[in-house]
């Protein structure tokens, strides 16, 4: 039969190839100019690029903050041609990591023009391209950019959505090879010659996982009519799984797990990394400054909620991720900017920390019978965090400076941080920009209030000497 080659693997070389054309001009795809853009597997490209990065002593994943151990594991796994399974809670950068691997693929590749899965001209996979390279005199090519295809772990996903529609029966009935009834690629096939990112692999129905295994391991698919069709899909498989997602979700099937290296992705290890991630990803790039003491208070509050040492630890079921930190920075800056503050003040946290609650409330979960509300937990955690940062500021005030400061405060009786009167010299020393001075004066007064009780906060940015009889 005419379509016998459909079941064959088709490979062409210089000797038996048709003429190839790019932008209407005939090209020699084996010439130096084009040889790098076909015939190689994705793994080969990734390997070559990794070696290039190593040679240049450059980090291919420089946009990812910290995570040096994980980066090494990813590089080693990719180098040895493995697929990767990122395991970790949401919001710690599994998707970002998988996207950053994309740059190890070539910027462009040569593909057969019009192909639904961007076939390699020398080893096409789809029926219509196999026919083209074997039967036609001239085959048109195009350059395609790098591909990163996200495949969401949907329990309702169908075979058609995941693998696609493939029917030999329709060819037998005389349908054209390009007819959608004959071949319509699903998400995985569309990732051919790119990265297939399975977001929550475990949520894909287990029957479909079996099909995936057949596709990747045996390089074939079984059509709904029972025909076994060779499909050498070449894609780098990156998957993610969330250990918290066990309820009502199928797990990752053993044979698939066996083909992947598991790399754990956790919360940032240090508060500095947490702050860097927050600043890097916030959407409000301009506006009021967030001085380092406020960055610390906010990041610290989020980190505390993840820690076993948090006094609410046994109440918190789902911890806030880096997205909480990012959003918190955004809201605090927004709040300060709206009020016309040059730098964040404590009042920007809102009455009873309403602004902080806005960022955190939907980003953590507590157990059902917790006797304490989410809002109370946020209030407690933020207060603890202010205490923490204030005590280190308090401890950093040199003794003689402290003496002068208290004398000065006793003299003025009421200090207004917004007016920056009196104590700006030490305050200036902790600022990284002159616009932070009012915020610095306030946090110093707050530190003295919290740690010595010699002053007390009586209004927005206003502190009174305690001995002073109002
Ligand atoms: Zn094709």
- Same-domain status, 319 and 450: no
> How large is the angle between the packed helices 292-306 and 322-338, nearest 10 degrees?
150
CB 278 within 8 A of CB 296: no
Burial profile 257-288: b = 16 or more Cβ within 10 angstroms, e = fewer: beebeebebebbeeeebbbbbbbebbeeeebb
CA 242 to centroid of ligand 1, rounded, Å: 35
Q: Please give the distance, rounded to the nearest whole angstrom, from the Cα atom of residue 152 to the centre of ligand 1.
A: 24
- Tell me, what's the pLDDT at 120? 97
Based on the domain organization, do 246 and 333 belong to the same domain? no
Residue 443 has pLDDT above 50, yes or no: yes
Residue 470 lies in a domain: no
Which burial class, exposed, middle or buried, applies to 84 when counting CB atoms under 10 A from its CB (0-12, 13-18, 19+)? buried
**pLDDT at residue 413 is higher than 90:** no
Residues paired with 110 in a beta bridge:
143
pLDDT at site 420: 67
CA distance readout (Å), 237 to 71, 86, 151, 197 = 17, 11, 11, 6
Tell me, yes or no, whether 284 and 409 share the same domain: no
Question: What is the per-residue pLDDT for 405?
Answer: 86
Residue whose C-alpha is closest to residue 162's, from 120, 129, 115, 198: 198
Average pLDDT over residues 304-320: 91
How many Å lie between the centroid of ligand 1 and the Cα of residue 115?
A: 4
Query: How would you classify the pairing of strands 195-199 and 236-241?
Result: parallel
CB 329 within 8 A of CB 278: yes
Whether residue 349 is found in the same domain as residue 430: no
The CA 355 to ligand 1 mean position distance, Å, reads 53
What's the pLDDT at 218? 87
Q: Kindly state the average pLDDT of the residues 390-396.
A: 96
Q: 196 CA to middle of ligand 1, Å?
A: 18
- Going by C-alpha positions, the residue among 39, 100, 52, 118 that lies closest to residue 79 is 52
**What is the arrangement of strands in the sheet containing 455-459, beginning at the earlier edge strand?**
414-416, 462-465, 455-459
As a whole-number percent, the residues of the chain with pLDDT over 70 amount to 96
Structure confidence at residue 243 (pLDDT): 80
Q: Which of 163-167, 246-250, 268-272 comes out lowest in average pLDDT?
A: 246-250
206 Cα to the center of ligand 1, angstroms? 28
If pLDDT is split at 50, 70 and 90, which confidence band does 244 have? Answer: low
469: pLDDT strictly greater than 80? no
Question: What is the pLDDT, as a whole number, of residue 460?
Answer: 95
Q: Which domain holds residue 278?
A: 271-391
Write down the pTM of the prediction.
0.87
Which segments of 361-436 does DSSP mark as H helices, in order? Answer: 374-396, 399-412, 424-430
For 323-354, write each residue's pLDDT tens digit: 999 999 999 999 999 999 999 999 999 999 99
Q: Do residues 117 and 185 touch, judged by C-beta distance below 8 A?
A: yes
Does position 249 have pLDDT exceeding 70, yes or no? no
- Name the helix (H) or strand (E) containing 304: helix 292-306
d(CA 99, ligand 1 centre) in Å: 25
User: Mean pLDDT for the chain?
Assistant: 92
Do 231 and 343 sit in the same domain of this protein? no
Give residue 2's pLDDT: 57
pLDDT above 90 for 258: no
> In the predicted model, is pLDDT for residue 250 greater than 70?
no
Domain final residue pick, 264, 291, 317: 264
Query: What's CA 149's distance to the chain center, in Å?
Result: 15
Distance from residue 14's CA to the centre of ligand 1 (Å) = 19
Number of structural domains found in the chain: 3
Contact 236, 42 (CB under 8 A): yes
Given a cut of 70, whether residue 153 has pLDDT beyond it is yes
Q: How is residue 349 annotated by DSSP?
A: G
How far does the centroid of ligand 1 lie from the alpha carbon of residue 394, in Å? 69
Our CA angle for 441, 444, 445, nearest 5°, is 85
Three-state SS for 457? strand
Cα 370 to averaged position of ligand 1 atoms, centre (Å): 57
Residue whose structure tokens are 């109440």? 315
Distance 469 CA to ligand 1 centre (A): 86
CA 209 to chain CA centroid, Å, is 24
Residue 115 maps to a domain: yes
Q: According to the model, what pLDDT value does residue 421 have?
A: 61
pLDDT > 80? residue 422: no
Which range has the worst mean pLDDT, 98-112, 340-354, 360-374?
Answer: 360-374
Instruction: Find the 260 Cα to ligand 1 centroid distance in Å.
Output: 27
Residue 468 scores a pLDDT above 70: no
Helix (H) or strand (E) holding 145: strand 138-145
What's the CA-to-centroid distance between 121 and ligand 1, angstroms?
Answer: 9
Looking at the predicted structure, is the pLDDT value of residue 299 above 70?
yes
| Consecutive H or E run containing 228 | strand 228-230
| Same-domain check for residues 151 and 15 | yes
User: What CATH number is given to the structural domain containing 58?
Assistant: 3.40.50.300
Centre of ligand 1 to C-alpha 155, Å, is: 29
Residue where a domain terminates, one of 370, 391, 412:
391
Tell whether 305 and 403 lie within a shared domain: no
Q: Which of 229, 264, 299 is the last residue of a domain?
A: 264
111 alpha carbon to ligand 1 midpoint, in Å? 8
């Amino acid at each position: 039969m005419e379509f016998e080659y459909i079941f064959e693997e088709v490979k062409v070389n210089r000797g038996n190839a048709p003429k190839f054309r790019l932008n209407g001009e005939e090209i020699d795809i084996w010439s130096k100019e084009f040889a790098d853009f076909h015939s190689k597997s994705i793994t080969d490209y990734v390997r070559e690029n990794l070696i290039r990065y190593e040679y240049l002593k450059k980090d291919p994943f420089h946009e990812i903050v910290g995570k040096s151990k994980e980066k090494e594991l990813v590089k080693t796994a990719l180098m040895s041609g493995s697929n990767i399974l990122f395991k970790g809670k949401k919001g710690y950068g599994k998707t970002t990591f998988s996207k950053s691997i994309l740059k190890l693929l070539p910027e462009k590749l040569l593909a057969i023009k019009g192909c639904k899965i961007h076939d390699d001209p020398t080893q096409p996979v789809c029926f219509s391209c196999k026919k083209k390279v074997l039967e036609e005199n001239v085959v048109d090519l195009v350059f395609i950019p790098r591909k990163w295809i996200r495949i969401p772990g949907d329990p309702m996903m169908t075979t058609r959505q995941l693998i696609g529609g493939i029917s030999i029966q329709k060819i037998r009935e005389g349908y054209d090879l390009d007819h959608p009834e004959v071949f319509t690629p699903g998400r995985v096939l569309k990732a051919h010659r790119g990265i297939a990112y399975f977001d929550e692999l475990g949520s894909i129905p287990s029957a479909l996982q079996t099909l995936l295994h057949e596709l990747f391991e045996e390089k074939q698919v079984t059509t709904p009519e029972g025909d076994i069709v060779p499909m050498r899909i070449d894609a780098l498989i990156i998957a993610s799984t969330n250990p918290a997602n066990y309820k009502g979700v199928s797990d990752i099937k053993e044979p698939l797990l066996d083909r992947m290296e598991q790399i754990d992705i956790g919360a940032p290890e240090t508060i500095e990394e947490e702050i860097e991630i927050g600043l890097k990803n916030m959407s409000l790039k301009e506006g009021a400054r967030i001085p380092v003491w406020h960055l610390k208070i906010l990041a610290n509050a989020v980190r505390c909620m993840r820690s076993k040492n948090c006094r609410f630890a046994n109440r918190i079921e789902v911890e806030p991720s880096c997205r909480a930190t990012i959003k918190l920075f955004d809201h605090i800056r927004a709040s300060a900017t709206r009020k016309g503050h040059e730098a964040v003040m404590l009042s920007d946290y809102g009455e009873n920390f309403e602004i902080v609650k806005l960022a955190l409330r939907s980003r953590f979960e507590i157990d059902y019978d917790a006797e304490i509300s989410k809002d109370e937990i946020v209030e407690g955690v933020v207060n603890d965090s202010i205490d923490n940062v204030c005590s280190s500021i308090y401890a950093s005030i040199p003794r003689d400076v402290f003496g002068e400061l208290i004398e000065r405060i006793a003299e003025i009786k009421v200090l207004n941080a917004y007016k920056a009167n009196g104590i700006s010299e030490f305050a200036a020393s902790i600022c990284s920009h002159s616009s932070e001075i009012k915020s610095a004066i306030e946090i110093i007064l707050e530190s003295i209030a919290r740690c010595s009780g010699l002053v007390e906060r009586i209004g927005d940015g206003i502190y009174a000497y305690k001995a002073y009889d109002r």
